[in-house]
Chains A and B, each alone.
Chain A
Amino acid sequence: MKNGERGKELETRYVMLEIKNLHARIAEDGTEILKGIDLVVPKGEVHAIMGPNGSGKSTLAYVLAGRDDYEITEGDILWNGESILEMAPDERAAKGVFLAFQYPMEIPGVATMTFLRAALNSVRKKRGQKELTTPEFLKLVRAKAAELGVADEMLKRPLNVGFSGGEKKRMEILQMSVLEPTLCVLDETDSGLDIDAIRIVSEGTTKLRGPDRAMLVITHYQRLLNYIVPDKVHVLADGRIQKTGGKELALELEKSGYAGFIGKAA
């Protein structure tokens, strides 16, 4: 599909995520991080957000997931046409929002299986679906885990405790595929991973690409986008989207770096 054709189609395609003039600041000290973000992700598309360190990428991810360390001072986030700003993180998750963390948390004393089950049954309950029985659940998780190369033994261990960087990221993708969100936000999923781990994680993510799902892939480097090829690339700097383009924009950035945008922002 050529760019021109897509441009036309965009207007008519159903918009899943719409971020309008979003301003956010750190609740504790009032530092403004997001300074008017406008972004539209239509159904079925994968958009990449690239930007220098400190540009507000992770803040955007957290704000989408509903972290209360940030205050929204202006603007709105619409998910399937509905504002999610007033929703708690768990309500957003039930609505289909999923954030794969840059630094996944360790939960000692809670087996990965137990955690996954609590999460899945919570969202299923809120989505009006029946909770899964133990055999149904085990079958589902084992199948998805096998696809991602997650060993059974790992599922018995406390969540993320003693996992390597790659294992933690794989676990995030496993959670994502089990919870079947409709908006996947991946925050620096490639950071700290070697090429093999990036490939596994990317393949797992690519499997989730589909016509009913939107994805935001946040990354500093272009390399992840070789595996998860985006429909669009947005450059975020100084709390605003500075430029939007096709996947070739990522390659340009790889060559020229973010210097131009940082200069512009300053």
Chain B
Amino acid sequence: MNVTTLRTKAESQLREQFDAAAEGLPGTGWVSTLRARAMDAFAAVGLPHRRIEEWKYTDLRERLRDVPAPRAAAATTINAADIDRALGPIAAIDADRIVLVDGAYSAELSKVTAEATVIELMSLAAMLKKAPSWLEGKFAADGGAVVALNTAFMSDGVLLKVRKDQDPVRPVLLVLARTAFEPSAIAVRNVISVEAGARFTLVEAHIALDGAARGALANIVTDVTLADGATCDHIKCLVDQTGSTHLATWNTSIGKNATYRGFQLTASPALARNDIAIRFAGEGGKLDLSGVFLARGAEHIDTTLVVDHAVPACESRELFKGVLDGRAHGIFQGKIIVRPDAQKTDGKQMSQALMLSPDAQFSSKPELEIYADDVVCGHGATCTEIDADLLFYCRSRGIPPDVARTMLTESFVGEAIEKIENEDVREAIGTLAIGWLRAK
């Protein structure tokens, strides 16, 4: 029997946009083929919807009615001061800076002081145009519909490598700035490689400049590979005020005895879906993943992660905290897979939401798939209002109720933010989160 799949309006728009844009996207030869195949792969499944388990709470088919067109390359008239203003407290972090404006690498606004023997940096668009054969292997074929769309539409991004045993010391701040006055879509792909024994701190800041249009769509995919003994701190922050849709995917592979510490702050997009896929590729790997999601009004923030303990003796920790007000919906789905060989796995997961309104909603779905027998794995989830005992304690010290509530809410998210190692980054993220909480 033949089944004709009906396309939604958005799915048709995406196909039309691709056909119109394909010519202008960077790369020919295998790159064009890769894009076309990715578009076909997307078209075969369409936008993810609620009948797909991982998308149960975030039905993109329902929510993405209209897809804005890809941003056409335009001359940028913005300067470093504009970027600083939009970055707010993040601008104060002492870091090398890489800036992408509307999905295109800006050489003018980027400044990396680290020697090329420490950090190797290339624009993805430039490399796609050259299309060396080694690059082809960087694009996985099975990343799902959102990653397929990214592969089809990717306009630029960074290829960044921290060389073996090197430590640039200063973090790299990767700024993804939007300036477009018309709602538009951007697709950026970053490929980060931390070589054996190297150390790296990467801060991704997603910002909208003054006057940027509401209702933009961003699809950002970041692949991170940690070689043996590497250490990487990866922090992402999005504090949106433009009703945007943010689809972000992290694919991280952790080598033998490597350590990956990830953190995500997501505040006030209209819709965000943070997909995080972590795979342990060598024994003795360590993962410490945390995040804070802040939503009010009708905002919707979904964090979905899969931690794959594919090898023995690895340790994973996850702590995600949400503050939900208004009619906001926060989602946390966390799957931990422990493969049959992965003995001595130590995995712990916790998700917690603080509800500031009776109409807010928190959906938490922890999943443990354990196929090995000598493992320690645990998960927990809580969904609470501000603790009455704590509130009384604060008030008994003279602290008025509104101040006490703010303090306790900050305390709640502070527990996750404290996990950020770099002090500058921790303070900047803390300031952003507190700013959001106090902006009620």
Contact = CB atoms under 8 A, between A and B. Distances in A.
Contact of A175 (B392, B397, B408, B413): B397
B414 interface: yes
- Of residues A92, A108, A126, which shows the largest number of chain B Cβ atoms within 10 Å of its Cβ? A108
Contacts of B412: 108-109
Interface residues of B, number: 25
Given A107-B408, A118-B407, A90 B414 contact: no
A207 to B, nearest CB: 19
A93 interface: yes
B317 interface: no
B414 A122 contact: no
B399 A119 contact: yes
A119 B388 CA distance: 18
Contacts of B410: 109-110
Nearest to A119: B397
Nearest to A96: B398
B399 A118 contact: yes
A109 B399 contact: no
B411 interface: yes
B401 interface: yes
Contacts of B393: 101, 104-105, 107
Interface in A58-110: 65-69, 88-90, 92-94, 98-99, 101, 104-105, 107-110
A118 B415 contact: no
Given A67-B392, A89-B392, A101-B393, A109 B398 contact: no
Nearest to B387: A105
Contacts of A88: 395, 401
Contact of B415 (A69, A90, A98, A109): A109
Interface residues of A, number: 30
Nearest to A114: B407
Contacts of A101: 393, 396
B136 interface: no
A174 to B, nearest CB: 12
A100 to B, nearest CB: 10
A108 B398 contact: no
A113 interface: no
B306 to A, nearest CB: 28
Nearest to B409: A109
Contacts of B404: 90
A179 interface: yes
A123 interface: yes
Contacts, number: 83
Interface string B298-339: 000000000000000000000000000000000000000000
Contact of B396 (A99, A109, A120): A99
B53 interface: no
A93 B394 CA distance: 10
Contacts of B390: 105, 107
- Of residues B398, B412, B417, which shows the largest number of chain A Cβ atoms within 10 Å of its Cβ? B398
A173 B155 CA distance: 61
A66 B398 contact: no
A175 B393 CA distance: 12
Contacts of B417: 109
Contacts of A119: 394, 397-399
B108 interface: no
A90 B398 CA distance: 4
B403 interface: yes
A67 B393 CA distance: 9
A109 B411 contact: yes
A109 B290 CA distance: 15
B411 A122 contact: no
B400 interface: yes
A89 B411 contact: no
B115 interface: no
Contacts of A109: 410-415, 417-418
Nearest to A127: B398
- Of residues A90, A98, A109, A110, which shows the largest number of chain B Cβ atoms within 10 Å of its Cβ? A109
A266 to B, nearest CB: 31
Nearest to A62: B392
A122 B399 contact: yes
Contact of B398 (A69, A93, A104): A93
A93 B389 contact: no
A89 B390 CA distance: 12
Contacts of A65: 392, 396
A93 B410 CA distance: 23
Contacts of B403: 118, 122
The 4 A-B pairs of least Cβ separation, nearest first, read A109-B414, A93-B398, A123-B398, A89-B395
Interface of B: 388-390, 392-401, 403-404, 407-408, 410-415, 417-418
Interface of A: 65-69, 88-90, 92-94, 98-99, 101, 104-105, 107-110, 115, 118-120, 122-123, 126, 158, 175, 179
Given A69-B388, A90-B400, A179-B397, 18 more contacts: A68-B392, A89-B395, A89-B396, A90-B396, A90-B398, A90-B401, A90-B404, A93-B395, A98-B396, A99-B396, A104-B393, A109-B413, A109-B415, A109-B418, A118-B403, A119-B399, A158-B411, A175-B397
7 contacts: A65-B392, A66-B395, A66-B396, A90-B396, A105-B390, A109-B410, A123-B398
